[in-house]
Amino acid sequence: MANHIFFAPASSGKTAYVLDLARQTAVSGQEVRICLPTALQAHAWRRRLAAAGGAIGIHVLTFDKLVTACLNAANEAYTQLSEPVQYRLLRTVIDQLPLEHYAPLVAKSGFVQVCQQLITELKSALVTPEAFTVAVSQLDDATPRLRELADIYTAYQNQLRAQGWADRVGLHWLALEALRERALSACRDWPLLIVDGFDDFTPSQLALLTLLAERVNSCVITLTQADLVDYPRYQRTAERTAAALGVTPQPLPYTDQDSGRHPALRRLSQRLFAPPTAEFEDSEVVFGAAAVTLWEAADRPAEARRLTLAQAAHHLGWPFPRSGGAAGPRHYPLLPLYPAGSRRVWLAGPSG
């Protein structure tokens, strides 16, 4: 079985298809590795697998766990820093540097967090400290702001190397290095690797998947595609993944893609961003003018918090602000969200 990239709209059977594929492969006595974006999705995948009858030899992993599996296959071990330890190390590094531009911010805890996020983004994009420093030095208008950020990144990475430590994204680098340079036969005995639930890949993730796709017997990746509208995010992910793996994406080979979708959700996904000239076979009006509210959130945690408040407000019959800033504790007291005898807690968030 060769490598495949399958696309289909959200909630149209992608996970059901690869779950059946994983169980069929496991029945033949071969191991299957499933890679998912988050621990919550991995937990949900295990529950669906158990509900389908289960199987022996199916390993459900997050991407970080997949990286660990690659390092284990290469017989290499590293000490991974937890986020609190990474914070303390970065704090020590910053305190020891003679910063001028950022001197007023050095004592602020938020400055360390921002530096931590920046380093994570640079590492996810496979930008080394040396490459970042060179890029900054080549700018005509290079400012102390950028030069000091490069100094922080370089000093932090030097500390990791000196101690033999690695942060979470740094393990991606080490796995790539180990597989490319030292463990040339590692992971070649993996029969099937399934990557499900992702709507985007960082450059480091895509680089590792590309390398694994060249070694495993078969790699199957599922991606989301809108019904009628080409969302730039989904389109870019599909193009980048296809170019990296050298595989042409194909529609999901599933006979009943709408079996798991509620008709109302299917109509909503088809019509929400469809052009005015779009024609539909079913002209039934399902949603009223006030049935759908669009919110814009800065990131997924903010989106999840807003949806959670909306669900709680709806459940308790409270009015929910439909405009203005993000809802917070000032809108509702905390305790009434959990009345005595309540048996349900509403949680909502984006699915991968």
Query: pLDDT > 70: what percent of the chain?
Result: 76
Q: What does the pLDDT read at residue 317?
A: 74
Residue 248 lies in a domain: yes
pLDDT at 144 over 70: yes
Which 8-state DSSP code applies to residue 82? P
Whether the per-residue pLDDT at 318 is higher than 60: the answer is: yes
Task: Concatenate the DSSP letters of all residues of 268-303 into one string.
Answer: HHHHTT--TT---S-------TTS------SSHHHH
How large is the average pLDDT for residues 46-61? Answer: 92
Over residues 6-18, the mean pLDDT reads 85
Helix and strand element counts for the chain (H, E)? 12, 8
Using one digit for the tens of pLDDT, what is the confidence trace for 235-276? 888 899 999 999 998 988 864 555 555 666 667 666 666 666
Same domain, 63 and 182: yes
Structural domain for 196, as ranges: 4-75+172-263
In a domain, 204, yes or no: yes
Query: Is the pLDDT at 62 greater than 90, yes or no?
Result: yes
Residues in the chain, total = 352
Tell whether 342 and 217 lie within a shared domain. no
Counting beta carbons within 10 angstroms of the beta carbon of residue 352, is it exposed (0 to 12), middle (13 to 18) or buried (19 or more)? middle
Mean pLDDT of 83-93: 93
Q: pLDDT value at position 206?
A: 95
Q: pLDDT tens digit string along 337-350?
A: 334 343 333 333 34
- Please give the mean pLDDT across all residues of the chain: 81
**Residue 258: what pLDDT?**
52
Q: How many domains does the chain have?
A: 3
297 against 36, higher pLDDT: 36
pLDDT tens sequence across 221-238: 999 876 555 667 788 888
Mean pLDDT, residues 142-163? 92
Better-scored residue on pLDDT, 293 or 56: 56
Strand runs (DSSP E) across the chain, as ranges?
4-8, 32-36, 58-62, 79-80, 165-166, 192-195, 218-224, 250-251
Q: What is the pLDDT of residue 283?
A: 52
Contact 25, 217 (CB under 8 A): no
pLDDT of residue 345: 38
**Looking at the structure, do residues 94 and 132 belong to the same domain, yes or no?**
yes
* Among candidate residues 109, 135, 166, the one where a domain is terminated: 166
176 and 149 share a domain? no
Q: Which of 136, 166, 196 is the last residue of a domain?
A: 166
Tell me, yes or no, whether 187 and 313 share the same domain. Answer: no
